[in-house]
Structure 1
Amino acid sequence: MRNKKVVIVGSGLGGISSAISLATQGYDVEVFEKNDKIGGKLNVLERDGFKFDLGPSIFTMPHIFNELFENAGKNMEDYFTLVAVKPHWRNFFEDGKIIDLIPVDIKNKFRATNVSERDNRDLEEFLTYSKKLYDLVDEGYFAKGLDTFKDNIKEYGFIKLLKDLDGLSTMDSQVRKYIDNEYLIDIINFFIKYVGSSPYNAPALLNLLPYIQYQFGLWYVEGGMYNLAEGLLKLMEELEVKINLNSEVVEILKENEKVSAIRLKNGKVIKADIIVSNMEVIPAYENLLKEDREFLKKYDKFEPTCSGLVIHLGLKKEYKNLAHHNFFFSKDPKEHFATVFNKKKLPSDPTIYLVAPTRTDKSQAPEGYDNIKILPHIPYIQDDIKLSDYMELKERIYDKLESMGLDDLRENILFEEILTPFDIKKMYNSNKGSIYGVVSDVKKNLGLKASKRSEKYDNLYFVGGSVNPGGGMPMVTLSGLNLKDLILETKKN
């Protein structure tokens, strides 16, 4: 009996994880990628001796990636090298306050600099709470690939969901039960950056994110984050996964209750027993499956996450006050989040994430020079926000950074490369330029994402940030691992 043919649309980390996981189970896997390299948003730009990671900059939960290699009988260390990043984050505030988050040798403990001992004890108490959330989520939602509210009720029970997992509380409301220091509240709230949502809207269970970072560490891939994609590419080739680059899928063909094939932009049709879409759920249903509005209404609760204005700068000097990962906070973070996520407007005073990878890896810029990536979260594509508005925001960002410690930034720019939400949508077919998939919102979706298995087509599946468990490198990789279990369980039945 022949092995079943699996076609995967897109080679982001969800698609890659699916390809590796299914290939290890004997499936005949073929991947189709519209761009000239694999990785999706895990992408790279090289210019004039500078190297920029266009997408993810933080590597956490290495055990999830390690599972891909172990399942294939391989050692992850043979494919890429991880380097620990310290401090984890440096945090800059408008009044001149600077706070580092640093890991310490004692397991499951972290400290903040420039705060009181009482504040650090508060952080330790919060981390105990964060660990409790993680343990509950890891043993059910993560491990079993739970997809629906009904699945979670069955796993945890209604009372446990509400009480132990703080099902109807927000991140910010629970953070404030443990921490009094407003600087630290803002820092802990901004762990929400991993999933591109607002701590004032997102469910409290996402307070597991700080524990994840300090339990499993914060890492950098030696030579640049894209070396992770290169290592995964090598593994796929060893597993005989067929990879087609510059091969855009424009249609998924249907027969009754099943999908039967894909059609490429050049007209070629490839048949499949199973199709896995790494394209987000809503764009896939709209553009590849041509579903009507009546069908798509049920997905309205799965609103896109924020997008970003991604600025890459080659610099003539190195700013010694920067760590590898830096945050420049808005004077009023609550208003910033409300502007981006509720009003869907560009912020006048954004919180800015800034990456300076040469603090860990000097190979990312020529000797004596530096590179930085600047990323403020902004709304996904809106009809009333034009390209010129993004350029005005860029100038406000430069003003803010220059006023908060990056003296004469503009004068030291050799070149800049900018990605707007329009570019992000075009490059990755993301829903309205979203970076992280589906927003986590208590009122809209209880923090849940779409299901990995199509409710309409028996042999159609989805992976990536728009399905459970959500956005971020570890989670989209986990979606591929969970998908393998789902397909194998379906096969049994």
Structure 2
Amino acid sequence: MNIPKSQKRVVVIGAGLGGLSAAISLACEGFAVQLLEKNGQVGGKLNVLRKEGFTFDLGPSILTMPHIFRRLFEQAGRNMEDYVAIQAVEPHWRNFFADGTVFDLTPEPVTMRRELQKLDDKSTAEFERFMAYSRRLGRAVEKGYFAKGLDGLGELLGHYGVLSSLWDFDVLRSMDQGVRRFISNPKLVDVLNYFIKYVGSSPYDAPALMNLLPYIQFEYGLWYVKGGMYGLAQAMQRLARELGVEIRLNCEVERVDLKGDRAAAVCLRDGEVVPADIIVSNMEVIPAARRLLQRSEQEIKALRRFAPSCSGLVMHLGVKRIYPQLAHHNFFYSEHPKRHFEAAFHQHRLSDDPTLYVVAPVKSDPGQAPEGCEIIKVLPHILHLDPDRPLRREDYLAFRERVLDKLENMGLSDLRQQIVCEETWTPLDIESHYYSNQGAIYGVVSDRFKNLGFKAPQRDRQLRNLYYVGGSVNPGGGMPMVTLSGMLARDKILADLAR
């Protein structure tokens, strides 16, 4: 006899955005849901720290595709605006180069053309042709991969067909090669290549399909959560509780108990056993295989194509002055970008001249810092933890000095002397706090030779009632995608129960 959904016990492991989304989506369908989180607050990598009058968003700094989040609230009969407020960020970001060139990416077409004129006379027309290409990629992906929850190459080919897939997804080129089909100015190439930041990969390794990312940003805008990005996690937590989800914080799952080809229960660190009919893991696939399922290294080796994305040295600086040249989002580019990516993804060393993502949220939200002060968040992408060639904290501290040298040399004068408050995380901290795979930030790397840009499937290959959400599974990393993964996991669970 089938058990009614209201009596089916769903346990969601981890309250990142993927876990919150899955819990909300399944509660909307009438399931009894428990959400178990090892840390003291929800949100996963969407985290916050308040220190000496500064409010640091420790995780994601950019919100895109707000319609995905609105859909999450609408399925529960709610309006997102009643839970959290967002505001558009313009310009999208400011680009700084070592030779003094500065130009903005902005959604307003006339202004964007004027900014591109700072580069050369050809860049405007080339950019518009590139954006038509990006739009074609993005719309093809939205129609199938996102909408249908396609979960690998086989499902993709089945949905689109072989010839259509080759054409629609530009599968024979790298992201960098796709950019260079249209763009000749090297600075604009660097800017468009660095959209790969959304998925923590290299444009020289990632498939050209990743050139859909500029379309996503320009089509749906770039947004900030009023009062700080963590407000989005708080809004989802409130919605989950209103729907009856039981959220248990400081509640670490140590393993999953099995019964035949099913996951039967989760065992907590304190010895409690929580039975479950369905389990959803927001822990990444490879750490979950090791920590929760105690699978053999041979079984884990079969997942090696789902290698970790890059990590980062995440520097949160509270400074006692305002830097007027900064926008909300900024990039300070390496003079040798290919060398920077080679260092992080192939040479397993810290770059001599990294590209730096710099966030100054006080530009949109002065209340995040004391009056007359600024928050400078700096994120260079660096190699994930390598157990065969481990780095020490001293290595990361030396790299921090190189980062500060670069920022001071490129216009943030006396930055060291202005710091009054600091919180810096290394890959070691990221791995320890979130159990991410080798300290990765964005889940699985996008690499056309390792995985064609696909992440791991959402269904476990061995257990019929275990599902995964988050950045290590399709559709991938970033706040919108991990939130979408929770809704897609719900769809898969309902489809499987209907069989």
1:452 aligns to 2:458 (yes or no): yes
Cα deviation code 1:7-39 (max 9, x no counterpart): 000000100110011000001010000111000
Q: Match of 1:306?
A: 310
- The alignment status of 1:170 with 2:174, answered yes or no, reads yes
Could you tell me how far apart the structure 2 residues matched to 1:282 and 1:137 are? Answer: 26
Cα displacement (A) at 1:273: 0.2
CA distance in 1, matches of 2:436, 2:113: 37
User: Which residue of structure 2 lines up, in the alignment, with residue 243 of structure 1?
Assistant: 247
2:415 matches 1:414: no
Which runs of 5 or more structure 2 residues have no equivalent in the other structure? Answer: none
1:473 matches 2:479:
yes
Is 1:133 the counterpart of 2:137 in the alignment? yes
Alignment of 1:107-126 (within 5 A): 112=116, 114-126=118-130
* 1:317-362 Cα distance to aligned partner (Å, 9 max, x none): 1111110000010010011001101112110110000100000000
Change (3 A) 1:3 1:110: farther
From the superposition, tell whether residues 457 and 345 of structure 1 become closer, same or farther in structure 2 (CA, over 3 Å).
Answer: same
| Residue number among 228, 232, 235 corresponding to 2:232 in the alignment | 228
| 2: CA distance, partners of 1:109 / 1:369 | 33
| CA displacement at 1:3 relative to structure 2 | 2.5
Cα distance 1:132–1:184, how it changes in 2: closer, same or farther (>3 A)?
A: same
Answer yes or no: is 1:399 the counterpart of 2:410.
Answer: no
Out of 380, 384, 395, the position equivalent to 1:389 is 395
Q: 1:253 to 1:113 in 2, by over 3 A?
A: farther
User: Do the aligned partners of 1:111 and 1:123 also contact (CA within 8 Å) in 2?
Assistant: no
Displacement of 1:491 in angstroms is 1.1
Partners of 1:3 and 1:22 lie apart in 2 by 12
Partner of 1:202: 206
- CA distance, structure 1, for counterparts of residue 114 and residue 255 of structure 2: 49
| TM-score (norm. length: structure 1) | 0.98
Question: After alignment, is 387-396 or 120-129 more displaced?
Answer: 120-129
Cα distance between partner residues in 1 of 2:226 and 2:372: 20
Task: Name the CA distance, whole Å, in 2 between partners of 1:261 and 1:3.
Answer: 15
Is the 8 Å Cα contact of residues 455 and 475 (structure 2) preserved in structure 1? yes
Which residue is 2:491 aligned to?
A: 485
Q: Contact 1:65–1:474 at 8 Å: present in 2 too?
A: yes
Aligned-partner residue type, residue 137 of structure 2: L
Q: Distance in 2 between matches of 1:322 and 1:139?
A: 37
Does 2:279 correspond to 1:275?
A: yes
**Equivalent residue letter for 1:56:** P
The CA distance in 1 between the partners of 2:298 and 2:189, in whole Å, is 42
Shift of the 320–18 alpha-carbon distance from structure 1 to 2, 3 Å rule, reads same
Tell me how far apart the structure 1 counterparts of residues 79 and 154 of structure 2 sit (CA, whole Å). Answer: 37
SS in 2 for 1:317: coil
Following superposition, the deviation at residue 365 of structure 1 comes to 0.2
Amino acid at match of 1:434: A
- Report the AA paired with residue 228 of structure 2: G
Structure 1 counterpart of 2:8: 4
Distance 1:357 1:187 in 2: 21
Alpha-carbon separation, structure 2, partners of 1:176 and 1:157: 27
The answer as to 2:355 corresponding to 1:351 is yes
Q: CA deviation at 1:293?
A: 1.4
Q: Kindly, what percent of the aligned residue pairs are identical?
A: 53
SS at match of 2:258: strand
1:102-148 per-position Cα deviation (integer Å, ceiling 9, x unaligned): 11168999964623353112111111100100111111111111112
Alpha-carbon distance, 1:295 to partner: 1.3
Q: Distance in 2 between matches of 1:112 and 1:39?
A: 38
SS in 2 for 1:95: coil
SS at structure 2 position matched to 1:417? strand
Match of 1:262 in 2: 266
Q: Which amino acid aligns with 1:131?
A: R
**1:324 corresponding residue in structure 2:** 328
- Where does residue 433 of structure 1 map in the other structure? 439
Q: Report the Cα offset of residue 296 of structure 1.
A: 1.3
8 Å CA contact 2:117, 2:123 repeated in 1: no
- 3-state SS in 1 of match to 2:124: helix
2: CA distance between counterparts of 1:317 and 1:96? Answer: 22
AA matched with 1:435: I
Which residue of 2 is the match for residue 365 of structure 1? 369
Amino acid at match of 1:358: V
How far has the Cα of 1:471 moved from its partner? 0.3
The letter for the 2-side match of 1:204 is A
Aligned 1:11-90 pairs, distance under 5 A: 11-90=15-94
Distance (Å, rounded) in 1 between the aligned partners of 2:172 and 2:259:
41
Structure 2 CA distance for aligned equivalents of residues 353 and 98 of structure 1: 14
Relative distance call for 1:109 and 1:78 in structure 2 (3 A) is farther
Structure 1's 253 and 92: CA in aligned 2 closer, same or farther, altered over 3 A? Answer: same
Structure 2 residue aligned with 1:252: 256
Using the size of structure 2 for normalisation, the TM-score is 0.97
Which secondary structure does the structure 1 equivalent of 2:302 belong to? helix
How big is the shift at 1:276?
Answer: 0.4
Judging changes above 3 Å, is the alpha-carbon distance between structure 1 residues 107 and 392 closer, same or farther for their aligned structure 2 residues? Answer: closer
Partners of 2:224 and 2:115 in 1: CA distance: 20
**Aligned AA (2:214):** P
Structure 1 stretches of 4+ with a deviation exceeding 3 A read: 105-113
Residue aligned with 2:491, SS: helix
Residue ranges of structure 1 left out of the alignment (5+ in a row): none
Tell me the alpha carbon deviations over residues 410-457 of structure 1, each in whole angstroms, 9 at most, x when there is no partner.
111112111000000011010000000000000000000100000100
Residues 42, 249 of structure 2: 8 Å contact kept: yes
Contact 2:105 2:112 in 1 (8 A): no
Q: Distance in 1 between matches of 2:99 and 2:317?
A: 26
